[in-house]
Structure 1
């Protein structure tokens, strides 16, 4: 603490002597949730004590100095979040920034490249906060096109911190500023190096205590076209993720984009091998991840489209994705008066090729190199495949329609990410999903002749999922109405292909005013995976009330 105080005083001194400043200000945001749970045997929901969670972020800025903190509360935490139980100050930092340097002491978040070897972030919905508590130094202006970031610290783990020490260095170079000043193409290169120091206390294996990972990347942009290559290499890191094998890891991500008015296409290729990277080798699930594996699947928002998500596989995956947008022009035969938008997305993911290594009798055998793998050969099993076709059409000034078709394959036989019926087995799931959404602008309303007009709108969704596997067919309906600052909604997910034929209905009412929002919901929530960006958390079934409040100031 003395070191923190001394450095903070130094930053304040530097700040006070600076001639370039901004006015001081105080701001923040808060969120509070309260949820009740009652037993419901039809959806396997258990009775639990009421759950309260929330956080408040506070920021004070004075000239070039920023002081921040976050206070969090978790009372009667739900499954998957038990280790968050309690309350207190979870994050705090002091930051000094001028036109040359950015120095942060305390908790901070950072990402190098696409995150293949380093990414820390916070997502309360997933229960993730893997910030680094330590010291970070960044350059805020380029030195002949070169930017540096250096950091050292320990990773946050719920209310505590990992015992291992993380050190990292990142360099980004704009070659157009550095060497190629006359080139019309923009070329940026970057490199990163991350290490963790973790003591070996394993009674069975001799484990490496210093794990290093390297990342190199290049981005080339010319006109409407861009190409990005990101490669990472990690030395052997026996852990719970890979069954304690001594195999080096590597990852390659290649993406390309082209766009012009009314048309765009994005392509991506990915190969990941043994790239689990955590600050503690025995950590599992979402705990203590140092890196992040970019998903190559479409991020879905419709309810039935999220039932069978895909979670990135750090131990091994080879994937590809293509995303095409096309706008049919206005006043054409197909486009009509307002035009029409078409989006086609296709993605698939395989496991990687694995053969038995020389020092082992089984693939992924603990204490061995684990396996051999041909970099250019696909694995035998398809893990996931998804085809999305979305058509969006404005019918008139007040009506817009969106139609979506999804065909997916989820290899739950290998992934084992879905709950199953008693005496059933995990299987390959084939599903077809159709969705029709309508967005309707309604006439403004007046409560009295002297009152102001209030805008109103309505949105409806009809969804259907067909499958001969898992829990069978689903149907879903949603009605949402907005009147000025108020909103109301009703929805029901009906799993009529399930032997119990459960309904998951819910209703909500809420109010928005500026940066403030309050909502009350009553209903049932299905058990399953909640995923954001290829990272998933298992959510239990529930039946009860939820009150949520968010505010910024």
Structure 2
């Protein structure tokens, strides 16, 4: 009924608006806008991968967003369809056709009111981020009410209440929030001194009834955040401090414990220097027990093949946002061993006990000027990046589970990535690139497996026939000590013009100790773009493992199939 009502209202409004265009009065009936995205995949049995054809092998995820705006009023919603089933390894609650989100928003010069679903982020998101990423199967919109008030253009206050979206329903926990942002540069006359300053304060509360009495924590969990950003000339520094009151933790069976409870902390410091041709950026972060869910105990799902997963596996009911602070590589092989932020307390066994993460990364960018011996005619860009992340140091006991961490120092190492990238424009026709990546990845602390040390080299070359026609070649190799051992990969892309392109790629696990697993993960396809519309067709194999967007990852299984995607905006 909600779907029918929304579509009827929007289609009626759209008809009136179109008819009125032809009228002499030219009365403003508002405008209708939105977008359509559909992703269809036909999965196949693949003896080489050892995968079976799933039930309902033809699957799709589709999204139709419609919005109507007139003056300060906007009404909208998103219709979603997952037929016959959602794509593999998406949240099982994404099933069938239904209205995913809907809202009414009204804005004035100083006020912004929303009823229904909305997205929001406080600061960097470490205590609240409600957002959507269709590639990862994430939609954690809040359904409720939000009010924003801006008494001046450099001050804003936000107050909100809602329940977090989970599938086509909402989670049981109530979310309360308040945020204040102050831009102080003009107020303190800092602009005249080439300076700027802003601060932010946030509160988020999650209320959920507990399934037992006499717990060592309250039904209401409170989280607080303070942020400050300062800039002077080419130097900048910003920090964020977060605190979460004591909350229950999960045992090894993913069951909520009444007496294993701890508070959470997060501290982030970022500073750097930037001017023409030179940039330095340093990010440091410490997370302790900062997993934050709208329902403390995860939902359990059992697939038809007996596989058991939880809502955590699908990044469902996550209140906050803690992405990995590492370089986001474009290389296929460098993305085999990707790091996912370790924000949770986890006691798997006496050897694997962790309470969070500590570490950071540093970026250095430098451009050798044109006309110098290293810069040549067009200059040369070089970048260095390094990141390292470890468990929190301290004392851990397995039975009964408990820990006491030290604020400074680092525990057992999780991950490191040190890399060098060189980009060189030789002339108007040739562009070259080279990357070297050294990685350390302890799978024992991130889902199980071996300690892997890997080295990756990447070479790429782009040849421009014209301003819109080009061909790009990329060759990669990985040497790895354990797990699946050595890989080789290659990609070729041909841009026929600004609208049409084709590609072919292959990843070959030739160094696997098991000859039956020395697999080629081949893919080929193309895309066509016209205006605001794009259609793409692809056939090939998906390597199983983590797929990441913006430092947030989810697991995908190995699969083989034909995929078609289409999206447009109107």
Q: Identify the TM-score tier after normalising by the shorter chain.
A: 0.7 to 0.9
Counterparts of 2:104 and 2:268 in 1: how far apart (Å)? 35
Residue 471 of structure 1 deviates from its aligned partner by 0.3
CA deviation string 1:113-142 (max 9, x = no partner): 111111111001111100100111112452
State whether residues 522 and 545 of structure 1, in contact with CA within 8 Å, keep that contact through their aligned partners in structure 2: yes
Distance of 1:306 and 1:129 partners within structure 2: 24
Q: Residue 421 of structure 1 aligns with which residue?
A: none
* Counterpart mapping for 1:110-129 below 5 A: 110-129=120-139
Q: Secondary structure at the match of 2:483?
A: coil
The 3 A distance-change label for structure 1 pair 440 and 105 is same
Partner of 2:293: 278
1:538 aligns with 2:555: yes
Instruction: Output aligned runs, 1:378-389, within 5 Å.
Output: 378-379=410-411, 381-389=412-420
Question: Corresponding residue for 1:488?
Answer: 502
Counterpart Cα distance in 2 of 1:74 and 1:405? 41
Answer whether contact 1:99 1:141 (CA < 8 A) is retained: no
1:149 is aligned, of 124, 143, 158, to: 158
Matched residues in 1 for 2:470 and 2:444: separation? 44
- Kindly state the Cα deviation for residue 46 of structure 1 after the two structures are TM-superposed: 2.2
Is the counterpart of residue 256 in structure 1 residue 259 in structure 2?
no
**Match of 2:379?**
339
Aligned mates of 1:203, 1:195 — CA distance in 2: 21
1:204 is displaced (CA, Å) by: 8.5
- The CA distance in 2 between the partners of 1:129 and 1:240, in whole Å, is 24
In the superposition, relative to structure 1, how do residues 89 and 508 fare at CA in structure 2: closer, same or farther (>3 Å)?
same
Are the counterparts in 1 of residues 360 and 389 from structure 2 also a CA contact under 8 Å?
Answer: yes
Within the candidate set 43, 50, 69, 1:44 is matched to 50
Q: How does 1:368-447 map to 2 (within 5 A)?
A: 370-379=402-411, 381-416=412-447, 426-443=449-466
Q: Residue 528 of structure 1 corresponds to which residue in structure 2?
A: 545
Matched, 1:353 2:385: no
1:186 pairs with 2:196 = yes
For the structure 1 residues 168 and 442, does the alpha-carbon distance in structure 2 shift closer, same or farther, using more than 3 Å as the test? same
Gaps of 5+ in 2: 7-26, 299-311, 345-355
- The residue aligned with 2:96 is 86
**Alpha-carbon offset, residue 112 of structure 1:** 0.7
Match of 1:25 among 31, 43, 57: 31
The aligned residue for residue 167 of structure 1 is 176
* TM norm structure 2: 0.85
Q: CA deviation at 1:416?
A: 2.1
**2:317: which partner in 1?**
288
Deviation string 1:226-249 (CA, Å, 9 cap, x unpaired) is: 100100000111133897421111
Superposition RMSD in Å: 2.1
Counterpart pick for 1:176 among 178, 185, 189? 185
Give the conservation status (yes or no) of the 8 Å contact 1:215–1:233.
yes
Following superposition, the deviation at residue 177 of structure 1 comes to 4.2
Distance in 2 (CA, whole Å) between partners of 1:547 and 1:246 is 47
Cα separation, partners in 2 of 1:413 and 1:182, compared to 1, 3 Å: closer
Instruction: Give per-residue Cα distances to partners, 1:313-364, cap 9 Å, x unaligned.
Output: 11210011100110000111111101000011000001101314xxxxx248
State whether residues 271 and 319 of structure 1, in contact with CA within 8 Å, keep that contact through their aligned partners in structure 2: yes
Conserved? CA contact 1:112–1:119, under 8 Å? yes
**1:301 corresponds to 2:330:** yes
> Cα 1:198–1:464, aligned 2, differ >3 Å: closer, same or farther?
same
Distance apart, 1:377 and its partner CA: 2.4
Deviation at 1:483, TM superposition (A): 1.1
Q: TM-score, normalised by structure 1?
A: 0.88
Write the distance in 1 (CA, Å) between the matches of 2:565 and 2:191. Answer: 55
Within the alignment, does 1:132 sit opposite 2:142 as a pair?
A: yes
Per-residue deviation at 1:459? 0.9
The answer as to whether partners of 1:354 and 1:363 remain within 8 angstroms in 2 is no
Question: Is residue 384–residue 419 contact of structure 2 (8 Å, CA) maintained in 1?
Answer: yes
Contact 2:164 2:294 in 1 (8 A): yes
SS at the partner of 1:247? strand
The question of whether the paired residues in 2 share the 8 Å contact of 1:115 and 1:294 is answered with: no
CA distance 1:363–1:217, change in 2 (3 Å): farther
Paired position in structure 1 for 2:237: 227
Deviates more, 1:225-234 or 1:201-210: 201-210
Q: How many residues align?
A: 507
**Do structure 1's residue 64 and structure 2's residue 72 form an aligned pair?**
yes
1:511 aligns with 2:518: no
SS of match in other structure, 1:239: strand
Matched, 1:195 2:205: yes
Which whole-Å deviations, capped at 9, do the CAs of 1:468-506 have from their partners, x for residues lacking one?
211011111111111122211111111101222111111
**CA–CA separation in structure 2 for the residues paired with 1:28 and 1:294:** 29
Alignment check: 8 A CA contact 1:364 1:371 kept? no
1:430/1:182 CA distance change after superposition, 3 Å: closer
The alpha-carbon deviation at position 533 of structure 1 amounts to: 2.8
**Cα distance, 1:212 vs. partner?**
0.2
Between the aligned partners of 1:477 and 1:364, the Cα distance in structure 2 is: 49
2:82 alignment partner in structure 1: 74
Q: Go from structure 1 to structure 2 and tell me whether the alpha carbon gap of 1:224 and 1:45 turns closer, same or farther (over 3 Å shift).
A: same
2:105 to 95, 105, 123: 95
List per-residue Cα deviations over 1:204-235 (Å, max 9, x = no partner): 94552000001111111111111001000001
Distance 1:228 1:365 in 2: 39
Question: Distance between the aligned counterparts of 1:181 and 1:492, measured in 2?
Answer: 54
Separation (CA, whole Å) in 2 of partners of 1:436 and 1:305: 13
